[in-house]
Amino acid sequence: MRVPILMPQLGESIAEATIKALNVQSGESVTADQEIIEVETEKAVMGVTAPCRGCVAELSAKINISYPVGTILGYLEIDETEATRLGMLPLEADADSSPETENKRSDQTKPPQKKTPALQSTSDDPDNPEVTPTIRGLPVPARAKGATYISPRLRARMQELGLNAADLAGIAGSGAAGRVTVEDFEAFMSALEEKKTTAASSMRIAVADSMRRSWTRPLATVGTPVSLDKLLNHRNSYNPKPGPTLYAVRALAIALSENTATAGQLVGNQIVHPEAIDIGFAVEVDDGVLVPVIRDVDKKPLNDLIQQYASLVEAANKRRLPNEASTPPGIATVTNFGSFGIVWATPIPLPEQNLVLGLGHGRQKPQWDDESSSWIPVVEAEITLSFDHRILDGGAAGRLLWRVGELLQSPENL
C-alpha cells in the first residue's frame, strides 16, 4: 500500500516552502519521523519527516522548486502491519491485478489535496503544482493598496504576475492625474527584460513584504546617548560574555512591563495591551534578517537568559529556529546596528509591532565628572526608539527610551 508524503503545515502563517535537499532516494527504507526532505520557508530551514515506517517508492519533489502546503511530494510503500497500525485497512486482493487497477487503488489512498488559489502557478501540468514564492503567509494579512487608483484591469494583470502596488513605484504614469495605465505597466515590464536581473530569495521577498506593510503607518524615531562603561564591566564577570543586545532586551522588557500600553496595538478606538512581554532581537542571516523571540523576558533575570539567547542566535544562523521562538512574534524588537559600525539609524518596526529599539556603535567620548571636576573618557553609544506615532507621541517615546537608558546604567539589577 502507498502512503503519500505531503508538504506539511510548517507554521501558522506558512503557505509554501522550497525544496532544498532530498535526504533519501527511491527504494531506501525509512523510519517514522525520519527527516527525508529539507525545505526552506521565508522564516527558516525545516525538515519534512516520514509519516510512518516504509520504503520510499517515489519522490516527485524537485530541488529549488516551491510547493504549497498539502502538495504530494512522493510516496512511501508500507506493509499491511504498518497500514493496520495506522488504521488504514489494506485493500482485498483482486483477480484483476493490471496496472490500471493498481493505479486506481493507489488513487483511492490519496487524501484530497488542500487547494491554495492564492499561489501563482508556474506549471501547466496539473499533477505538478509548482509555484514561485509569493509570500502570502506573514503574520499581518493587510496589504498596502498604494496612494493612487489602480484600475481593475491593471490590478488583474499585476495579480497574474504576482506583483503588488509597491512595485509600481518606479513607473511614471501617463494617464489622468498621473495614473499608471496598463500600457505604462506593460512598457515597464518589457524594459525589464533587457536589464540584468537575479532571482530574489524567499527571505528577501518576505523582508520586502514586511517592510512595505510596516510603512503604511506613521513612524517616527527618537534617540539619546548612553554610557556603556558599567554594562561592559558587568559583562566581563561572565563566561561566555552576554552581548549588549541581551542587556537591551532585558531593559526594554522591564520598561514595557511598567506601562504595557506603550507596546499595545491600536484597533479602532481601543488600545489592545499585550498579554506577555515577549521581546525579539534581530539576527542577520543570508540575504535577510530573522527575529528570534524570548518569552516573558520581564520575569526572567539576565543570568537565566544568557544560554537561551546564545542558543537562539545559533539556531537563527542555521535558519533552524523552533516555531515557539518565532510564532507568535514578540511585542517589540531590539536590533544592534552598532555591530556594523553604524552610530545612528532609524530601524522600522515589524508590521505586527509598534516598537523597535536600536543600539549604535560605542565610541570613546569625554564626559564631565562632577566628583573630580574634570573630563574623563567613557564609552558612549546612541540608542534609538522607532515607534508607531498613532500609539506614542514624542514625549511618551522619549520617556520610554530614557527609562531603558537608566536601566542600562544598573546592569547588576537586570
Q: Out of 39-43, 224-228, 294-298, which region has the weakest mean confidence (pLDDT)?
A: 39-43
Residue 171: the pLDDT is 79
Q: Please, which pLDDT band fits residue 121 given cuts at 50, 70 and 90? A: very low
Is pLDDT larger for residue 342 or for residue 103? 342
Mean pLDDT of the chain: 81
The closest of 141, 389, 101 to 266, measured between CA atoms, is 389
Identify whether the C-beta of residue 134 lies closer than 8 Å to the C-beta of residue 120. yes
Q: Out of 185-199, 215-229, 243-257, which region has the weakest mean confidence (pLDDT)?
A: 185-199
Taking 70 as the threshold, does the pLDDT of residue 336 lie above it? yes
Q: How far is the C-alpha of 277 from the C-alpha of 293, rounded, in Å? A: 10
Q: Please, which pLDDT band fits residue 125 given cuts at 50, 70 and 90? A: low
Q: What are the tens digits of pLDDT across the range 247-300?
A: 999 999 999 999 988 888 888 888 889 889 999 999 988 778 889 999 999 999
Taking 90 as the threshold, does the pLDDT of residue 169 lie above it? no
Q: Please, which pLDDT band fits residue 2 given cuts at 50, 70 and 90? A: confident
Mean pLDDT for 323-328 is: 83
Supply 388's cell numbers.
Answer: 508607531
Distances (CA, A) of 236 to 5, 13, 200, 232: 51, 41, 41, 7
Q: Please, which pLDDT band fits residue 138 given cuts at 50, 70 and 90? A: very low
Taking 50 as the threshold, does the pLDDT of residue 141 lie above it? no
Identify whether the C-beta of residue 212 lies closer than 8 Å to the C-beta of residue 135. no
Q: How far is the C-alpha of 386 from the C-alpha of 34, rounded, in Å? A: 44
Residue 12: the pLDDT is 59
What percent of the chain is predicted at pLDDT more than 90? 33
Phi then psi dihedrals of residue 32, to 5 deg: -60, 135
With 0.85 as the threshold, say if the pTM is over it.
no
Residue 137: the pLDDT is 37
Exposed/middle/buried for residue 18 (C-beta within 10 Å: 0-12, 13-18, 19+): buried
Phi then psi dihedrals of residue 59, to 5 deg: -125, 110
Q: How far is the C-alpha of 349 from the C-alpha of 331, rounded, in Å? A: 10
Residue 277: the pLDDT is 93
Residue 135: the pLDDT is 39
Identify whether the C-beta of residue 4 lies closer than 8 Å to the C-beta of residue 58. no
Residue 115: the pLDDT is 41
Ordered by where they begin, the domains of the chain are 2-108 (2.40.50.100), 138-216 (no CATH), 218-413 (3.30.559.10)
Amino acid identity, position 22? L
The 8-class DSSP code of residue 26 comes to T
Q: DSSP secondary structure string, 299-323?
A: GS-HHHHHHHHHHHHHHHHTT---G
Residue 146: the pLDDT is 34
Q: What are the tens digits of pLDDT across the range 107-118?
A: 554 444 444 333
Phi then psi dihedrals of residue 348, to 5 deg: -105, 130
Q: Please, which pLDDT band fits residue 13 given cuts at 50, 70 and 90? A: low
Q: What are the tens digits of pLDDT across the range 239-250?
A: 888 889 999 999
Amino acid identity, position 53? R
Q: Which helix (H) or strand (E) holds 207?
A: helix 202-214
How many Å separate Cα 296 from the centre of its chain? Answer: 20
Is pLDDT larger for residue 344 or for residue 214? 344
Exposed/middle/buried for residue 341 (C-beta within 10 Å: 0-12, 13-18, 19+): exposed
Q: What are the tens digits of pLDDT across the range 377-391?
A: 999 999 999 999 988
Supply 405's cell numbers.
Answer: 537608558
Residue 308: the pLDDT is 93
Q: Which helix (H) or strand (E) holds 223?
A: strand 219-227
